């Protein structure tokens, strides 16, 4: 038997591992360029730094948020040499709050950044560019957000209720009483909400709060245990003062305190009213949403004798305006409750030429009964993971025109590869500036079948 060696040390095959940059360290950097997500890129001691709140050409002092391998994530603490492009942020909480990460970038450059991101994804993944680039579709860069989720957390050690938005790259809550991107109707609620919630006898039961602005103003309170009578009275008084509906979200899901109250939003160009409930997906930017629908109808150009398919239809945001033009609209959604809500919206608006169906849109559609007759045109508005299984079978439906509304350029580019393989060509594309002051990109792409 071999004799045991003692005190033997083994060297890893890969050699000595380079030490990681510690979280919290401050480092002076020169920013070389901007990444697609709006962060500055710098290079230092063999590592690539992604620095939030910086611009190309700037010298900054950055604080490390985290590091892995040769990548360091950081945020700007001080700007030592600013870019001539830098502008003052509209919000006093910029750099600490986790939202609105590119406020320091002029709006025109924000649009250009998003355009580059879309173009680079299409070129890199699909090796294609559209035959025509559309002008960016945008609206007001502030006071646009008609829905907001407010973080609420009881700090038992400090005996303090924190109310605000999540901090950048952290679970901390930044105390906020004003938010420049909220629509004006929600500003008074945002300003007075923290003080009201901190007056609760039992703030420990609070989960989060959501604010809504549409055909009515509403406040939704998520609670993990029943509210006591005094705290409920405080909430009701607050909502009465602001002429707002009160919704409570306990074990049974969101429910209005007054059973006959409803939420909704209007699509004025088409004289439509769409009802929704808290938890339903709606576009937070009313102006860009309306412009997006108008552009979608212009690009898709449904004719009065055509049958049109709307996939991932939600509440009917596209389907109902389409039904004002096309002979027949078939609208499909994966969530059964949304199908019911959309069908009710169609009925309430007197539209009898649109039918709604529930289907698993992560699977091919070829066996669906509603697909048997085929379609002249298709509109799809999938979630961030795209619609790969759906687009694989779209050509079999006979659609000559396909309009793809995307909230993720990466999955749009991936699905474009499949559409081109099926014989479609990318006719037109452009960005939708649904979230100004952020690097989030939404896009619209029109595909036409090759002759």
Which CATH number belongs to the domain containing residue 79 in this structure?
2.40.50.140
Measured CA to CA, the distance from residue 426 to residue 442 in angstroms comes to 17
Does any domain span residue 4? no
Question: How many residues are present in the chain?
Answer: 451
Task: Tell me if residue 237 falls in helix, strand or coil.
Answer: helix
Query: Alpha carbon of 153 to those of 12, 125, 164, 201: distances in Å?
Result: 45, 42, 9, 14
Q: Which whole number is the average pLDDT over 201-216?
A: 96
pLDDT, residue 3, reads: 43
* Nearest alpha carbon to residue 285 among 139, 442, 409: 139
Q: Residue 89 corresponds to which tokens in the numbers above?
A: 């942020």
> Residues 255, 327: one domain?
no
Q: Does residue 217 have a pLDDT over 50?
A: yes
Do 342 and 228 share a structural domain?
A: no
Cα separation, 71 vs 49, in Å, equals 6
Q: Say if residue 299 is in the same domain as residue 245.
A: no
| Structure tokens belonging to residue 156 | 């038992």
pLDDT number for residue 359: 92
Domain match, 250 and 311 both: no
What is the extent of the structural domain holding 364? 111-140+285-449
pTM for this prediction:
0.91
Instruction: Output the six-digit token pair for 117.
Output: 């991101």
List the catalytic residue out of 179, 239, 313, 407.
407
Claim to verify: residue 32 and residue 123 sit in the same structural domain: no
In this structure, the answer to whether residues 416 and 358 fall within a common structural domain is yes
Residue appearing with tokens 């590869």: 417
User: How many domains is the chain partitioned into structurally?
Assistant: 3
- What is the CA 38 to chain-centroid distance, rounded? 16
Describe the strand order of the beta sheet including 59-68 as a list of residue ranges: 26-30, 59-68, 71-81, 47-52, 40-44, 33-34
Q: Are 189 and 290 within one domain? A: no
Active site residue 239: no
- Band (pLDDT 50/70/90 cuts) for residue 395 is confident
Residue 11 lies in a domain: no
338 and 445 both lie in a single domain:
yes
State yes or no: pLDDT of 357 exceeds 60: yes
Task: Return the axis-axis angle of helices 409-421 and 107-126, rounded to nearest 10°.
Answer: 40
pLDDT computed for residue 71 by the predictor: 95
The pLDDT of residue 4 is above 50 = no
* 276 domain residue, yes or no: no
Q: Report yes or no on 179 lying in a domain.
A: yes
Q: In CATH, what number is assigned to the domain containing residue 129?
A: 3.40.50.150
Residues 335 and 439 in one domain: yes
Q: Is the pLDDT of residue 165 over 80?
A: yes
Residues 368 and 422 in one domain: yes
Asked whether the predicted pLDDT for residue 426 surpasses 90, the reply is yes
> What confidence score (pLDDT) does residue 235 get?
97
Task: Report whether pLDDT(149) > 90.
Answer: yes
pLDDT averaged over every residue in the chain: 92
């Amino acid at each position: 038997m071999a004799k045991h060696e003692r005190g033997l040390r083994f060297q890893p095959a890969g050699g000595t591992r380079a030490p990681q940059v510690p979280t919290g360290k401050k480092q002076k950097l020169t920013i070389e360029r901007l990444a697609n997500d709006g962060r500055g890129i710098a290079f230092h001691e063999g590592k690539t730094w992604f620095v939030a709140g910086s611009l190309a050409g700037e010298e900054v002092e950055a604080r490390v948020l985290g590091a892995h391998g040769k990548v360091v994530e950081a945020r700007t603490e001080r700007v030592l040499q600013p870019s001539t492009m830098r502008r003052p942020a509209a919000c006093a909480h910029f750099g600490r709050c986790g939202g609105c990460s590119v406020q320091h970038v002029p709006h025109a450059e924000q649009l250009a950044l998003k355009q580059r991101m879309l173009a680079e994804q299409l070129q890199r993944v699909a090796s294609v560019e559209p035959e025509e680039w559309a002008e960016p579709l945008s609206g007001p860069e502030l006071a646009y957000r008609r829905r907001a989720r407010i973080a609420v957390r009881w700090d038992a050690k400090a005996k303090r209720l924190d109310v605000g938005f999540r901090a950048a790259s952290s679970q901390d809550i930044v105390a906020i009483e004003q938010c420049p991107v909220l629509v004006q109707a929600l500003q008074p609620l945002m300003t007075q909400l923290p003080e009201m919630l901190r007056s609760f006898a039992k703030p420990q039961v609070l989960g989060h709060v959501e604010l809504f602005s549409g055909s009515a103003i509403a406040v939704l309170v998520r609670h993990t245990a029943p509210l006591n009578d005094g705290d409920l009275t405080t909430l009701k008084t607050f909502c009465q003062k602001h002429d707002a509906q009160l919704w409570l979200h306990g074990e049974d899901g969101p429910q209005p305190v007054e059973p006959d109250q409803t939420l909704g939003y209007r699509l004025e160009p088409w004289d439509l009213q769409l009802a929704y409930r808290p938890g339903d997906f709606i576009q937070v930017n009313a102006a860009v949403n309306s412009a997006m629908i108008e552009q979608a109808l212009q690009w898709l150009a449904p004719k009065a004798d055509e049958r049109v398919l709307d996939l991932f239809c939600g509440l009917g945001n596209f389907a109902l305006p389409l039904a004002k033009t096309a002979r027949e609209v078939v609208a499909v959604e994966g969530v059964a409750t949304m199908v019911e809500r959309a069908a009710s919206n169609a009925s309430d608006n007197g539209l009898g030429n649109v039918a709604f169906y529930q289907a698993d849109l992560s699977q091919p559609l070829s066996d669906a009964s509603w697909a048997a007759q085929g379609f002249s045109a298709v509109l799809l508005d999938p979630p961030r993971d795209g619609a790969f299984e759906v687009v694989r079978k779209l050509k079999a439906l006979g659609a000559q025109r396909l309009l793809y509304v995307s909230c993720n350029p990466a999955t749009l580019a991936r699905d474009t590869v499949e559409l081109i393989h099926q014989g479609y060509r990318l006719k037109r594309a452009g960005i939708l500036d649904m979230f100004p002051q952020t690097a989030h990109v939404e896009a619209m792409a029109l595909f036409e079948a090759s002759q």
